[in-house]
Structure 1
């Protein structure tokens, strides 16, 4: 018992020091007796499978709505979301990576033993150090770097198509494009771009997915304990990688090692690890989710699937419409620095704000006929799928490019594919800020003699 108390005190200190930030609110999504919106459960099957009716009602009836189940203030109008993203003095990024579901002592003990800590680095960093760290990242993800990487992305996409099982047969069991193509493509691209070595893509994907579920999901205690182990291993690997003095010149790790903070001091290991943690998760898991959605939606429109391989710009235009209507990052968080008024509602200081990015892309005041997929829509890029302002996603250009290349290569190499489960729909990833199909089941159209 004495050792357990000591461990608990150590964990408590970790929480107080900010190593394991948590919103600290219940996330049971229970129904409430305050009208129809009280039935909203952000993790429930109804919302995850078809969030649009809920988002439309929020936008029309309660554009700034406090969700009793999570304690979060849901902001759903494009205008209000953009204001929050651009006003970094009143709306701080400090809670952007907080654990949605509080981490019990048993789970935190696993992480403490691994030395897990994520100080502010990128998405959750409102300090003066943010700009310099962002510049380090942008060196690898700017438009010129991404354009130079297109042949590499195409090569990897072709290699993955070559390895797909069953693509040589006319009929047979459905083929799933999610794991062997949509997930692996951005992981391998990221590893080549950043000079990452010493880990295989499957392991990196598993670590990243575990981190998303642990920090943005509503897992049970038993599931949290399962997830804590790979997340701890992920952090330990990142720490060892950052400390590696042999990181190759020109690699992301070497760039972090050479970086200096505003006061001239070298970047500390913990913050470098935190930057890597965010870049690796965002650069592969969320991009894989985008690719999966792009493929699934394109497969339901034979004109898009056939045209993406040959028509210049169609793949890129389709990706932009998917980002507008069905982005992989569906929400993002901010916290108010002071009492403020938003959308006609008074928010107290310290209010936890949830920006409904997915709903903003269907705001009819900005996007006419928003439910219609319209590649080439004139104002498509007004969506907020990548955020806006100072914290605009640094990997936006890479994600767009990878998704377009993935669609173009798949459509060219596999022109006869069609969805294998168009009626039922695939299982969906339903985390607080991430939504995507977990399967892209396809089959070949049978050829008539």
Structure 2
């Protein structure tokens, strides 16, 4: 049922999409609310199968990712999710706003100073990169350290698991993932032991998971993707929002975004139209039906949560709809902001935090920096199966 896709979209050389692509928001929401029929077991699987050499690199680091949270379809999921959710309650998120605003204001002020001296600034690195990582670590009760490495590891891991790296690039990414996993495992062991000895003044996620009964490999598995998704996707959301703002293509001017309300409106618009996580995967557990069409057990689905930048899903839908033997995808329709963070029992626990962080950073950046223009209106974009954002947003005095 796969339809041809242009090679420039970043897919393998075969140019074919191996998933049944679902674009209608109502259908996507139905899949997400039918866990008894559609499992998240494939959500974190590498899009490009790992080579033997890459696997050996990971094995040397004792790399293991048992299904614990995002890909967990067992009865243990609810209890583990409840533990993690305790670190992202509405009250805890709201209490972090002054800290978020302080970090955003400091970053924006430094960027403004560089622009005032006549230079250019990459807003991705200057204001979008670090605040989400600092906030995530602090909310989880973990030390804020090794931020440049964490950001690099995060991008590499996203490419390793959701990209199409060639053989040489896959080995580079595997080494990076192994380094990240070693760092993470040391952190888990350190903080579980410190908490058990009473040496830590506040709770931390790793100790809470250990108290729940998770083993060190299970905690590492959860932490591996949580530390990536909990901050890198927010950086990407901020990056896209700032790019569209500087581009002037979304109906809100730079000066208007210097108000909290307009900054929030712009973030929500980006969430609805081209969020940093535009798609997610599910796999059919059993033979079933969806919108009157048969779905075979084992069939993999690609769910469009918001609009995709650079991926011609509409062409896929049209090609598959024309295939009488494989009707393929449903009709495209407008995707509401409500699906940007998923829906159902696996909805993103950090949704409110990500929206708050993005709105605050955009607001503080627009307020601190006056009169800018894009230096490059066509930057390179991160274009992975389930992640998208401009790699740079370089601005100069306008």
Matched, 1:323 2:271: yes
Moved runs in structure 1, 4+ residues, more than 3 A? 44-48, 162-166, 359-367
SS at match of 1:358: coil
Check conservation: 1:91, 1:337, Cα contact below 8 A. yes
* 1:39 counterpart SS class: coil
Q: Are the counterparts in 1 of residues 237 and 358 from structure 2 also a CA contact under 8 Å? A: yes
Which residue number corresponds to residue 402 of structure 1?
A: 357
- Residue of 376, 387, 390 corresponding to 1:421: 376
Q: Which range moves more in the overlay, 73-82 or 356-365? A: 356-365
Q: Mapping of 1:284-299 within 5 angstroms?
A: 284-299=231-246
Instruction: Provide the secondary structure at the position in 2 that maps to 1:334.
Output: strand
Cα distance change on mapping 1:418 and 1:114 into 2, 3 Å: same
Q: CA deviation at 1:255?
A: 1.9
The structural deviation recorded for 1:170 is: 5.7
The equivalent of 1:384 in structure 2 is: 339
Structure 2 residue matching 1:83: 3-state secondary structure: helix
* Cα-to-partner distance string for 1:387-420 (whole Å, 9 max, x where unaligned): 0010000010110000000110001101222222
Match among 263, 267, 272 for residue 219 of structure 2: 272
Question: Corresponding residue for 2:204?
Answer: 251
RMSD: 2.5
CA distance in 1, matches of 2:172, 2:186: 22
For residues 162-181 of structure 1, the aligned pairs below 5 Å read: 162-164=109-111, 167-169=114-116, 171-172=118-119, 174-181=120-127
Relative to 1, partners in 2 of residues 1:81 and 1:394: Cα closer, same or farther, differing over 3 Å?
same
Which residue pairs with 1:352 in the alignment?
300
1:285-340 deviation line (CA, Å, top 9, x unaligned): 11110010111112223843212223x42221211110000111111110101112
Name 1:45's counterpart in structure 2: 8
Equivalent residue number for residue 434 of structure 1: 387
Asked if 2 retains the 8 angstrom alpha-carbon contact of 1:332 and 1:355, the reply is: yes
- The answer to which structure, 1 or 2, has the higher relative contact order (CA under 8 A, 6+ apart) is 2
- 1-structure distance, mates of 2:270, 2:95: 24
Residue-by-residue CA offset, 1:148-193 (whole Å, 9 max, x unaligned): 0001001111222233386243634x32111232111211111222
**Equivalent residue, structure 1, for 2:164:** 218
Q: Within 5 A, what are the aligned runs for 1:191-210?
A: 191-197=137-143, 199-210=145-156
Taking the aligned partners of 2:10 and 2:167, their CA distance within structure 1 comes to: 23
CA distance in 1, matches of 2:371, 2:144: 38
Q: Deviations over 1:79-126 (max 9, x none)?
A: 111110110000011110001101010000000010000011111011
Partner of 2:27: 80
CA distance in 1, matches of 2:36, 2:384: 28
TM-score, normalised to structure 1, is: 0.77
Counterpart-to-counterpart distance in 2, 1:188 and 1:331: 26
Distance in 1 between residues matched to 2:134 and 2:92, nearest whole Å: 16
1:165 and 1:321, CA in 2 relative to 1: closer, same or farther beyond 3 A? closer
> What secondary structure sits across from 2:268 in the alignment?
helix
Contact 1:429 1:438 in 2 (8 A): yes
1:361-393 CA-to-partner distances (Å, cap 9, x unmatched) read 9999864xx8xxxxxxxxx54x31100010000
On the 8 A contact 2:132/2:235 being kept in 1, the answer is: yes
* Distance in structure 1 (CA, Å) of the matches to 2:106 and 2:247: 25
Give the corresponding residue for 2:327.
none
